[in-house]
Chains A and B, each alone.
Chain A
């Protein structure tokens, strides 16, 4: 019964995510103007046919910047996700499979990292390395892998106690084969669900750090940067704040709907 309700949410989420994906992919064809073209004579214009959402403080097309901003945001979210999992999957896998002292050592390290609020820690790292997108990526990956590694470890622990793993061990398969073929494959689904739940969070964190000037650097269009650039116009041109704000909100909503939906489905599937 609840499956239908969840499906509805997932479907809406998928539509949103797909739409954003297409916008990012076809940005050059969709954008009505060059997002970097500065035209001081067109500063802060109201929406018109040539600039559907008006122009910003440097006379750049706001819609085009939003569209290209989708590209920046999604690309970096995916990059962060990929690098976080590139660290957390092997670490979680080894900790869960090896157990004993190795597990203990890894888990204590993770506990230390988790003791810090992750966003504050990545903020500090980015500020130290100097503000730029690659540094932002690095700081996120360096801090955020810990939480995921712990979840992956617990998934691995569950799978490890299954009979077929015992069978594989008994039949003399190597550790590598067991870890990759038997455990990782079976852990893929929960990891995928975990990833989809977290996309929204990462997207938001990237926008947040860019808002503070630690992420995307000018002239790259990015939602958080657009938000911070519009801040001085809060009273005179509030619409400039609304556009990137709404873009972020809908994107996060879409990813969260998909993520939560997948998780619910998985729960249902397990309960059944």
Chain B
């Protein structure tokens, strides 16, 4: 009978969905049991191969140095920048050996390293640098100050060029260290070659690595650039394997399918850390992170305009417990917007609300909220204090548990928190466009973007839109002063004032300082964390042993 057929098919479909979901985990097993790639043991003793797990495809076919497509981590491996981002924001020479900045901070003169060639053998000169910049710098979509404030970029001679800006802005050099769009690519990367308006055809840079092969959504193989100007890498090949599921990455580590998994290339789930720790072949390493997770208060929500309410939310969250209990000690207790690894953040200017539910309750009472009807939720003028918290799980799997914990903690002081779990697209839509949230869990940017770039994009209004996060005129003025200041002391003092103002006004709710975690197979030695998001690992130093 037709109907019976339909019914059994529907039954089957439902089963399939559930088994499929469970199989997501089990599927990793089959993934992990596939035969490892030809590694150094099987191929030849001279060739050393290192396999690294990545969350998403590297997008080599569109990895234009001057665009925001593909993986920025791979961008930073293939293309060099003029200057590099060192420890805690120190700017160190890259392709530019030295530079001078005019008194007023508007003219930058760069001297390029001599004898540098791209991986295709073309020489790197001032003209190639100007070519790289001209390709994207006039695009009105660019928000980098280096693009918007640039008046002229000119080659002076073969190895010297100048950049002239219409204002002083201390992070110009920091922006030049970014993975994109400021890196330098070979004129042969576009068609017709050397044409500023040419179309991107292949990823050719002067960086330590070049592409050997690429299969979309599967793997990218990088080999050392024979023309590289710096120290040559120790390994002969790096295989970047795409493994989107966090659990699968753990299993790939266990089976030896990948040698390295973790960092921002593909985060490891905290729940699986005991498994990795218990595996003798693997070593777990961690480094201080430079971003933090926090909650944005929607400035348009009436209840949150009361300082007492914002303070109460902060006091209700047990930041120490999130680290100790929920994250098994991975990470640090949040004590502000930025952790100490961020420039201008010091022990003295870092100050935030602790955990004190009793005081939080009193603050709510002071703000006029009482639980008159005894349902556990406080009201003011008959309106219960209900807030919705928007969050997502795909990119940050731990947010659901953190959200549920905060939901319970806020319930304890009488705030009814509704969790709204969205998929990444709708989440970012809510954050940037629709603003359909009372509270939203977000993270600060990483390293080179902190603190100036993050403050500018979240706490500072633009020409036509108000600030995304809760901010005020005083804070916005302070941010302007800080980024325009050419004097280091003045800048530090202004940042002190910024952090103090944020604390006074409880402009956000601090939640969690994550840590960078990586698991490395014992056959790999000399692993070192990089200093920026786009260079999470110091690739050149890695060695592969024969273990």
**B-binding residues in A (CB < 8 A):** 36-38, 40-41, 43, 57-59, 114, 117-119, 127, 130-131, 147, 150-151, 154, 197-198, 200-201, 204-205, 207-209, 211-213, 217-219, 227-229, 231-236, 241, 245, 248
Decide: A231 near B25, CB < 8 A? Known: A40-B326, A40-B405, A217-B419: yes
Cβ contact within 8 Å between A227 and B407: no
Produce 1/0 per residue, B298-341, CB < 8 A to A: 00000000000000000000100100011000000000000000
Cβ contact within 8 Å between A58 and B401: yes
Across the interface, B21 reaches (CB within 8 A) one of A119, A228, A234, namely A228
The complex places the Cα of A227 from the Cα of B419 at a distance, in Å, of 19
Interface pairs (25), CB distance under 8 Å: A37-B408, A38-B405, A38-B408, A40-B318, A43-B326, A59-B325, A118-B13, A130-B426, A201-B11, A201-B14, A204-B14, A208-B17, A208-B18, A212-B21, A217-B419, A218-B403, A218-B407, A219-B407, A227-B21, A231-B25, A232-B246, A232-B272, A235-B247, A236-B272, A245-B22
Cβ contact within 8 Å between B18 and A211: yes
Taking the complex as formed, is B167 at the interface, i.e. its CB lies under 8 A from any CB of chain A? no
The complex places the Cα of A150 from the Cα of B5 at a distance, in Å, of 13
The complex places the Cα of A204 from the Cα of B21 at a distance, in Å, of 12
Taking the complex as formed, is B34 at the interface, i.e. its CB lies under 8 A from any CB of chain A? no
Cβ contact within 8 Å between A43 and B274: no
Residue of A nearest to B398 (CB): A232
The complex places the Cα of A204 from the Cα of B11 at a distance, in Å, of 9
List of B residues within 8 angstroms of A245 by Cβ: 22
Decide: A198 near B274, CB < 8 A? Known: A38-B404, A57-B401, A231-B247: no
List of A residues within 8 angstroms of B408 by Cβ: 36-38, 58, 219
**A-binding residues in B (CB < 8 A):** 3, 6-7, 10-11, 13-15, 17-18, 21-22, 24-25, 246-247, 250, 269, 271-272, 274-275, 318, 321, 325-326, 393, 397, 400-401, 403-405, 407-409, 418-423, 426
Across the interface, A40 reaches (CB within 8 A) one of B17, B321, B418, B421, namely B321
Decide: A248 near B18, CB < 8 A? Known: A118-B10, A198-B7: yes
Across the interface, B421 reaches (CB within 8 A) one of A213, A232, A234, A248, namely A213
Cβ contact within 8 Å between B419 and A147: no
Cβ contact within 8 Å between A207 and B18: yes
Residue of A nearest to B24 (CB): A231
Residue of A nearest to B3 (CB): A151
Across the interface, B11 reaches (CB within 8 A) one of A200, A218, A227, namely A200
Residue of A nearest to B412 (CB): A38
List of B residues within 8 angstroms of A248 by Cβ: 18
Residue of B nearest to A154 (CB): B3
The complex places the Cα of A236 from the Cα of B328 at a distance, in Å, of 13
- Can you list the 6 inter-chain pairs with the closest CB atoms, starting with the nearest? A40-B325, A232-B271, A38-B408, A208-B17, A204-B14, A205-B14
Residue of A nearest to B408 (CB): A38
List of B residues within 8 angstroms of A212 by Cβ: 21
The complex places the Cα of A59 from the Cα of B407 at a distance, in Å, of 14
The complex places the Cα of A245 from the Cα of B18 at a distance, in Å, of 10
Nearest chain A CB to B275's CB is how many angstroms away? 5
Decide: A131 near B421, CB < 8 A? Known: A119-B14, A235-B272, A236-B272: yes
Residue of B nearest to A202 (CB): B14
Across the interface, B271 reaches (CB within 8 A) one of A114, A118, A236, namely A236
List of A residues within 8 angstroms of B272 by Cβ: 232, 235-236
List of B residues within 8 angstroms of A231 by Cβ: 24-25, 247
Cβ contact within 8 Å between B13 and A119: yes
Residue of A nearest to B324 (CB): A40
List of A residues within 8 angstroms of B404 by Cβ: 38, 58, 218-219
Cβ contact within 8 Å between A119 and B17: yes
List of B residues within 8 angstroms of A57 by Cβ: 271, 326, 401
Decide: A127 near B17, CB < 8 A? Known: A58-B405, A58-B408: no
The complex places the Cα of A256 from the Cα of B302 at a distance, in Å, of 51
Cβ contact within 8 Å between A236 and B274: yes
List of B residues within 8 angstroms of A130 by Cβ: 420, 422, 426
The complex places the Cα of A131 from the Cα of B158 at a distance, in Å, of 59
The complex places the Cα of A147 from the Cα of B4 at a distance, in Å, of 10
Cβ contact within 8 Å between B6 and A43: no
The complex places the Cα of A238 from the Cα of B422 at a distance, in Å, of 27
Residue from A127, A154, A211 whose CB has the most chain B CB atoms within 10 Å:
A211
Cβ contact within 8 Å between B401 and A205: no
The complex places the Cα of A217 from the Cα of B235 at a distance, in Å, of 48
Cβ contact within 8 Å between B247 and A232: yes
Nearest chain A CB to B11's CB is how many angstroms away? 5
Across the interface, A218 reaches (CB within 8 A) one of B3, B13, B400, namely B400
List of B residues within 8 angstroms of A151 by Cβ: 3
Cβ contact within 8 Å between B21 and A201: no
The complex places the Cα of A209 from the Cα of B17 at a distance, in Å, of 9
Cβ contact within 8 Å between A150 and B401: no
List of B residues within 8 angstroms of A37 by Cβ: 408
Cβ contact within 8 Å between A233 and B271: yes
The complex places the Cα of A148 from the Cα of B520 at a distance, in Å, of 55
Nearest chain A CB to B444's CB is how many angstroms away? 24
